[in-house]
Amino acid sequence: MKNIRTQLKRFQYFYPYTVALVGASVGGQVNFMSCAWHTALSFDPPLFGVLVSRKRFSHGIISKAREFTVNFLSFERVKLSAQMGRKSGHDLDKVKEFKLRLARSKVIQSPIVEEAYVSFECRLAEVRAYGDHDLFVGEVLAVHEEPGCFNAEGILNPGKVRPLLYLGSDFYLTVDQDTLKHVLPD
Ligand X SMILES: Cc1cc2nc3c(=O)[nH]c(=O)nc-3n(C[C@H](O)[C@H](O)[C@H](O)COP(=O)(O)O)c2cc1C
Q: Which chain residues interact with ligand X by CB under 6 A? A: 19, 31, 33-37, 51-53, 56-58, 81, 85-90, 133, 166
* Nearest residue to the partner ligand X, using Cβ: 85
Of residues 56 and 77, the one with the C-beta less far from ligand X: 56
* CB-count exposure of residue 179 (10 Å: 0-12, 13-18, 19+): exposed
Q: Supply the minimum distance, in Å, between the C-beta of residue 5 and ligand X.
A: 17
Q: Supply the minimum distance, in Å, between the C-beta of residue 58 and ligand X.
A: 3
Of residues 5 and 181, the one with the C-beta less far from ligand X: 5
Of residues 97 and 151, the one with the C-beta less far from ligand X: 97
Backbone angles phi, psi at 27, to 5 degrees: 55, 40
* CB-count exposure of residue 68 (10 Å: 0-12, 13-18, 19+): buried
Q: Supply the minimum distance, in Å, between the C-beta of residue 152 and ligand X.
A: 30
Distance of CA 162 to the CA centre of its chain: 15
Q: Supply the minimum distance, in Å, between the C-beta of residue 110 and ligand X.
A: 14
3-state secondary structure 117-160: CEEEEEEEEEEEEECCEEEEEEEEEEEEECCCCECCCCCECCCC
Q: Supply the minimum distance, in Å, between the C-beta of residue 182 and ligand X.
A: 30
Of residues 112 and 172, the one with the C-beta less far from ligand X: 172
Which residues of the chain form beta strands (DSSP E)? 17-18, 20-26, 29-35, 38-42, 47-53, 67-72, 102-103, 112-113, 118-130, 133-145, 165-168, 171-173
Of residues 109 and 171, the one with the C-beta less far from ligand X: 171
